[in-house]
Each structure stands twice: as structure tokens, then as C-alpha cells.
Amino acid sequence: MAFAFKTPAPEQMIGRYESDYSRWLFDNARLLREGRLAEADIANIVEELEDMGRSEYRAIESYMGILLMHLLKWEFQPQQRSNSWRGSIFNSRRAIIKRLKESPSLRVRLAEAVREAYSDARFNASNETGLPERIFPPECPFSVDEALDPDFWPGVE
């Protein structure tokens, strides 16, 4: 879908990044599509692309935190297991797998995501269960493969 906006001059393009982000996106997309690289706001385009890559990793790390928290709750508070926890585990696994299919290069950072997310997951599991934080292992007790395995349910034989 093309917009009938007149593309601003290169010096105006940088200001547009701050004042009208959506318009800046469409203007730069059109310039790039037309091969008019000299007119595009390359510095901010590069920054946006890098931010998008970081954002994909942060999304995986966020889902990993939710997943680990619910796996901890599942294992350490078996009498409270619920369909809500099961759904959260399922949805978090699915969201991580989906992002890995879209960006397979992030697979090498999964162990890092687990390390980064675990302390928050441990705190949140303690907070939500009322169990003392010391009950939960100081290091993540689940491997990446276990955490993402749809058949892995800690404490269930």
C-alpha cells in the first residue's frame, strides 16, 4: 500500500524520525525500494535494525522467564498445579519456538536467556507461591532442552 506523501529532503528525514515515526518508516521504505539510498536516513535505519534484533532476543528472554517461573511453581507446589499454569507453560514454549523458527540464529543464545531470566523467575515463583526463595535452586534446575520439551513436566513421572 503506497502513500501519496512527498518524500522530505534528507535533512528533514532525520527530524521526521523523532516527530512522526510511522511516516519516517514509510518514507524510508519507499526510498530504499526505489534505490535512493543517498536520501534515506541510513544512520537511524541501522539503529532500528539493531534494535529489532535486540528486541527479538528480549522477547525470548521474557517468555523464558515466564516459562521458568511456571516450571518452578509446577515442580515445587504440586498441590496447586492448575490448567492456568499448564497453559502458561505451553504458551511460553510455543512463543519461544515460534521466535526461534523466525530467527534461528538466536538458538545459540538460549542458555544465556535462561541464565538472564532465572533469577527473576525464581523471585516471582517465590512471590506467587508464598514459598521462601531459598526453597528454589540458586541455579536453574532445567536444561534448555527440558524447558522447551512439550513432554517435560518437572515432578511428574
Cα 120 to Cα 115: distance, rounded to the nearest angstrom: 10
pLDDT band, very low/low/confident/very high, at 132 (cuts 50, 70, 90): very high
> Is a pLDDT exceeding 70 seen at residue 157?
no
Q: Which domain holds residue 33?
A: 10-40
CB 118 within 8 A of CB 142: no
Residue 155 has pLDDT above 70, yes or no: yes
Question: pLDDT (tens digit, 9 = 90+) per residue, 19-72?
Answer: 788 888 899 899 999 999 888 888 888 888 888 878 899 999 999 999 999 999
Answer yes or no: is 21 within a domain.
yes
pLDDT score for 62: 97
pLDDT tens digits, one per residue of 91-100: 999 999 999 9
| CB neighbour burial string for 100-138, b if at least 16 within 10 angstroms, e if fewer | beebeebeebbeebbebbbebbbebbbeebeeeeeebee
Q: In terms of DSSP H, where are the helices of the chain?
A: 10-19, 21-33, 42-76, 83-102, 110-129, 144-148
State residue 14's pLDDT score. 61
pLDDT at position 9 is 58
Q: In whole angstroms, give the CA distance from residue 40 to residue 31.
A: 6
Q: Which of 77, 79, 67, 62 is nearest to 136 (CA)?
A: 77
pLDDT of residue 75: 97
Tell me which residue has cell 536453574: 140
86 and 127 co-located in one domain? yes
Q: Are residues 114 and 137 both part of a single domain?
A: yes
Q: Are residues 28 and 74 in the same domain?
A: no
Task: Please state, rounded to an integer, the average pLDDT across all residues of the chain.
Answer: 89
Mean pLDDT, residues 112-124: 97
Tell how far CA 59 is from the center of its chain: 1
Q: Are residues 107 and 34 part of one domain?
A: no
Residues 109 and 57 in one domain: yes
Q: How many CB atoms lie within 10 A of CB 79?
A: 4
How many structural domains compose the chain? 2
Cα–Cα distance measured from residue 63 to residue 30, given in angstroms and rounded to the nearest whole number: 34
Please give the pLDDT value at position 10: 57
